[in-house]
Amino acid sequence: MTTTGYLAEDEIVLTPQQQQIVDNESEEQLVRGIAGSGKTLVLLKKAKKKAVKNAADAIMIFTYAKSLTNASQITMKRHGLGNLGVSTFHSWAMKVYGQVFSESFKLIMNADQANLVKRAIANTKVDHRFVTDEKYVEFLQKEISFIKGMEVRSMSEYAAVSRRGRGVGTRVTAADREIIYAIFWNYEELKGRNRDFDDFAYRLLDVKDRIPENAKLDHVFVDEAQDLQLSQIRLLKVCVRKSITIAADKGQKIYDTAFSWKEAGLNIQGGRTKILTESHRSTRQVIELAVSLQQHDSITQDEEYVVPVLPERSGPKPVLRRLDDRGHHDEAVIAMINEVLAASPSATIGVLYRSSQGWGHRLGGALKRKGIAYMDVRAKKDVDPFSPGVKFSTFHSAKGLEFDVVIIVDLVEPSVLPAEEDAAEFWDNERRLLYVAMTRAKSLLYMMTYERENRLLLEMDDSLYDIQ
């Protein structure tokens, strides 16, 4: 097998269009582009150029997940630029929050946050479906996040705010909003001095005049901005002195956020918006198959959706492997990893999965027993996901990453399916996550399924992959 090989950021020659974005000196700029079009690379190059040219300026690159933050930190560290940092939004916002509010707090998330929402619902003493039916717990948890993300601070504001981007699954009337807002306030009261991730931007914007100058930045570069909340973009805008550049792809949007860049206070009209339509990462065969899935997603009707241009680079067809059961599936994955490593020891192999119970994936233990080294991209701060070898990642954490070979495992039906009214929104989100996973592949893509095959596989054009 021939792999494309990894090139350091400073070794990659940009296309004329990418170079034009790097050289653009607009105070506010939007880069729209499909998966693999070089959005992250352009941000890194542009940030580095700013840091070299303006040694006294504070510059920050914001990435979507810790895995990409770690990789970008490793890349930028080689340049020895003390004025250039890389961070997730939440890590940075928590530090700023600590500078403004001299208070100790516990960060609540995951199961603890879900349990708090359940208590808030129980404390709302009304006869309403949102209160009496447990199936709405996840919806209400997301709606609480939406309220803070849209910087809503009163019932009148919530009554007026557009819920676009929240899907059409759960119908919400004006009367329903009053119940939801009562649950929101019960949640806030129960939370007390504790904080959730949505609190940092929400509370800092309420006291934005108290944000100290040493917490602000001169130049900001935001990757995967389509998954940030309105309040988060607004906070960054408040904290930037000179310029802000954001990169976004609606086709990879995996969170229920929807707002215009104008609402966020950004002026990206005309020449301030650049669009990258061609993937420089994946082969034509990989993109063609991924697009055949994406065409079933309602996001393709969004005005900011970028229609991909199929790349010129060609390669093998993606492969779908159907196994009898999980045991045979795991054996096949291990055999494939051994085969790739034997043929190309320097290859990067991404084993990607939708979700896991607890930390990591069961296949990690199987590889360890076989003496095959691997790393989880979320596990350590110094993990370089672009280094040769086997890397494990969830679909979420794989955003912004790339591998010579991608093996998508456990492509089976979810153990819990949504209610009928929420199904369309649920499956749109699943399509985008699978699209993200597929487009991490530079050369080879394998999709592994068994028993209850994931229905999204049936939406793909079966002429575009081989079956084994």
User: For the segment 424-446, what is each residue's pLDDT rounded down to a tens digit?
Assistant: 888 999 999 999 999 999 999 99
Give the architecture (CATH level 2) of 4-98+201-276.
Answer: 3-Layer(aba) Sandwich (3.40)
Query: Is the confidence at residue 392, as pLDDT, over 70?
Result: yes
Contact partners, residue 138, CB within 8 Å, separation at least 6 = 114
Please give the mean pLDDT across all residues of the chain. 90
Tokens at 203, concatenated? 């509370």
Please give the average per-residue pLDDT across 69-93, as a whole number: 83
Query: What gap in Å lies between CA 290 and CA 294, rounded to an integer?
Result: 6
Task: Identify whether the C-beta of residue 120 lies closer than 8 Å to the C-beta of residue 187.
Answer: yes
Angle at 467 between CA 461 and CA 468, to 5 degrees: 165
So what's the pLDDT on residue 6? Answer: 45
pTM over 0.85: yes
pLDDT tier for residue 102 given thresholds of 50, 70 and 90: confident
Query: Is the confidence at residue 359, as pLDDT, over 90?
Result: no
Task: Identify whether the C-beta of residue 33 lies closer than 8 Å to the C-beta of residue 225.
Answer: no
Query: What gap in Å lies between CA 199 and CA 205, rounded to an integer?
Result: 10
User: For the segment 197-248, what is each residue's pLDDT rounded down to a tens digit?
Assistant: 999 999 999 999 999 999 999 999 999 898 899 999 999 999 999 999 999 9
pLDDT tier for residue 7 given thresholds of 50, 70 and 90: very low
Tokens at 16, concatenated? 């004329």
User: Among the listed ranges 252-266, 299-313, 367-381, which one has the minimum average pLDDT value?
Assistant: 252-266
User: Among the listed ranges 239-243, 261-265, 416-420, 438-442, which one has the minimum average pLDDT value?
Assistant: 416-420
Query: Taking the domains of the chain in order of start, what are their residue ranges?
Result: 4-98+201-276, 110-194, 284-467
For residue 147, give Cα distances in angstroms to 73, 79, 140, 233. 33, 41, 10, 15
So what's the pLDDT on residue 357? Answer: 56
Q: Give the CATH fold of the 284-467 domain.
A: Rossmann fold (3.40.50)
Task: Identify whether the C-beta of residue 76 lies closer than 8 Å to the C-beta of residue 84.
Answer: yes
pLDDT tier for residue 410 given thresholds of 50, 70 and 90: very high
Task: Identify whether the C-beta of residue 385 lies closer than 8 Å to the C-beta of residue 393.
Answer: yes
Tokens at 144, concatenated? 């609480």
Domain 4-98+201-276 shares a fold with domain 284-467: yes
Which one has a higher pLDDT value, 70 or 327? 327
User: For the segment 140-189, what is each residue's pLDDT rounded down to a tens digit?
Assistant: 999 999 999 999 999 999 999 988 766 656 889 999 999 999 999 999 99
Task: Choose among 309, 63, 103: nearest CA to 200.
Answer: 103
- Alpha helices, DSSP H, located in 59-198: 66-77, 89-100, 110-122, 129-132, 137-149, 155-160, 174-191
Identify the H or E element spanning 430: helix 423-438
